[in-house]
Amino acid sequence: MLRTTIDLDAIAHNTRTLRAHTQAELMCVVKADAYNHGVERCVPVMEANGADAFGVATFAEARRVRELTSKPVLAWLWDVSEAIPEGIDVGVPSIAHMHALIDAPSVPTVYLTVDTGMHRSGIDESSWEEAFALAAQAEKQGEFSVAGLMTHLSCADDPADPYTDLQAAAFRRAIAQARLAGLDVPRNHAANSPATWTRPDLHFDMVRPGVSLYGLEPVDGLDHALRPAMVWSAPVVTVKPMRKGEATGYSRAWEAPDDGFSAVIPAGYADGVQRSWEGALEVTIGGRTYPQVGRVSMDQIVIWLGDNHGGVAPGDEAVLFGDAAALARRAGTIGYEVLCAPRGRTARTYTGEGK
């Protein structure tokens, strides 16, 4: 009953738009099942429209993407106890991870992850000298190959924040120090989606956009003619009259302001409709927009049709969102979370040919 409809032509358009925006190599980030759009269909489309490599979080995700492309696949979130998969490029966020790679039976290509100020993952600057010396020795002994350095920017979605400049300076120090230690580091990358659009000076050798591939502008106020690729919809289950003052749902949290009609949509928190969206979710049916009212339940939400001048009837398609960014603004969250929300009983369908 619930479905996300993914527009592959939008994915293709967004990939080409990013490709045209930079002279650096383009790593398309497809973690979390391509931000909930489906790697099996998205990866071939991105590859056909300019992707040079793919990035994911985990080894499990990397193995799945590896089956879909011959392009490099990088995974950067892993535990030192995990077996290192062959044919996957590996992000190295600590010296302990580096030792795990040295002991691995394969000879992986690695990117050393340096912490330039996000303080989340990566080798601290105080340990760069030790880490780069160890990496240079391991590379010389044929234990792994260092393709470059990588880092992550914490404030690039706010181009006015000077912290990005501090991180950029730290990353340049890391590159210089790595080369002094004997590492070539020919392919370095820091730019996420917002930095790809706003900081061409930080493109380095490769950019690493994610959410823009799926049609979201990562910086408020910018417009790069991206096309949202996901629509989440469900059929109307019931339409019923309500009298003024009657309440719907748990806790009687909402009362009808006038005589009118309500409708039930079969989507609840088990399917990804967040309870935090209560009062912010607007459902579109036949070109008209209706507010979600009352509590979000496990399996369903209620919308208020007013006098139902639009003639909403059971079976009509109700769009929960087609513009994830708009819902995010109303709900006080981010478009990333909205895109990742549909789950549970949601089926995925595709339109377009990825051209």
For residue 31, indicate whether it is catalytic: yes
Residue 116 lies in a domain: yes
pLDDT (0 to 100) of residue 101: 93
Would you list which residues are annotated within the binding site?
A: 120, 298
Average pLDDT, the chain: 97
Q: 172 and 66, same structural domain?
A: yes
Catalytic residue among 31, 111, 290, 336: 31
Is residue 115 very low, low, confident or very high in pLDDT (cuts 50, 70, 90)?
very high
pLDDT (0 to 100) of residue 1: 86
Q: 109 and 238, same structural domain?
A: no
For residue 269, indicate whether it is catalytic: no
pLDDT (0 to 100) of residue 5: 98
For residue 300, is pLDDT > 90? yes
Beta strands in the chain (DSSP E): 2-7, 25-29, 53-56, 73-75, 89-92, 109-113, 145-150, 206-207, 230-235, 238-242, 247-248, 254-255, 260-265, 282-285, 288-293, 301-306, 317-321, 346-351
The kind and range of the H/E element at 178 are helix 163-180
Q: 198 and 305, same structural domain?
A: no
d(CA 104, CA 286): 57
pLDDT (0 to 100) of residue 107: 87
For the segment 162-169, the average pLDDT, to the nearest whole number, is 98
Per DSSP, the three-state class of 195 is helix
Would you list which residues are annotated within the binding site for substrate?
A: 120, 298
Residue 344 lies in a domain: no
Q: 240 and 209, same structural domain?
A: no
Is residue 106 very low, low, confident or very high in pLDDT (cuts 50, 70, 90)?
confident
The kind and range of the H/E element at 34 are helix 31-36
Q: 312 and 186, same structural domain?
A: no
pLDDT (0 to 100) of residue 103: 85
Is residue 294 very low, low, confident or very high in pLDDT (cuts 50, 70, 90)?
very high
Residue 22 lies in a domain: yes
Per DSSP, the three-state class of 20 is helix
Minimal CA–CA distance to 279: which of 290, 287, 288, 269? 290
Residue 337 lies in a domain: no
For the segment 341-352, the average pLDDT, to the nearest whole number, is 98
The kind and range of the H/E element at 97 are helix 95-102
Q: What are phi and psi of 224, to 5 degrees?
A: -105, 20
pLDDT digits (tens, 9 = 90+) for 197-240: 999 999 999 999 999 999 999 999 999 999 999 999 999 999 99
Tell me, what DSSP letter sits at residue 301?
E
For the segment 280-306, the average pLDDT, to the nearest whole number, is 97
For residue 297, is pLDDT > 90? yes
For residue 335, is pLDDT > 90? yes
For the segment 320-329, the average pLDDT, to the nearest whole number, is 96
Q: 266 and 173, same structural domain?
A: no
d(CA 203, CA 209): 11
pLDDT (0 to 100) of residue 244: 98
Q: 59 and 26, same structural domain?
A: yes
Is residue 349 very low, low, confident or very high in pLDDT (cuts 50, 70, 90)?
very high
Among 189, 214, 239, the domain-final residue is 214
Q: 258 and 197, same structural domain?
A: no
For residues 285 and 316, is the Cβ–Cβ distance under 8 A?
A: yes
Is residue 104 very low, low, confident or very high in pLDDT (cuts 50, 70, 90)?
confident
Residue 143 lies in a domain: yes
Number of independent structural domains in the chain:
2
The CATH number linked to 78 is 3.20.20.10
Residue 29 lies in a domain: yes
pLDDT digits (tens, 9 = 90+) for 168-192: 999 999 999 999 999 999 999 999 9
For residues 283 and 292, is the Cβ–Cβ distance under 8 A?
A: yes
Determine what percent of the chain is predicted with pLDDT higher than 90.
Answer: 97
Q: Which domain holds residue 254?
A: 230-322
pLDDT (0 to 100) of residue 355: 87
Residue 350 lies in a domain: no
For the segment 12-37, the average pLDDT, to the nearest whole number, is 98
Catalytic residue among 240, 244, 250, 355: 250
Cα 120 from chain centroid (whole Å): 18
Residue reference for tokens 């106890």: 81
Tell me, what DSSP letter sits at residue 275?
G
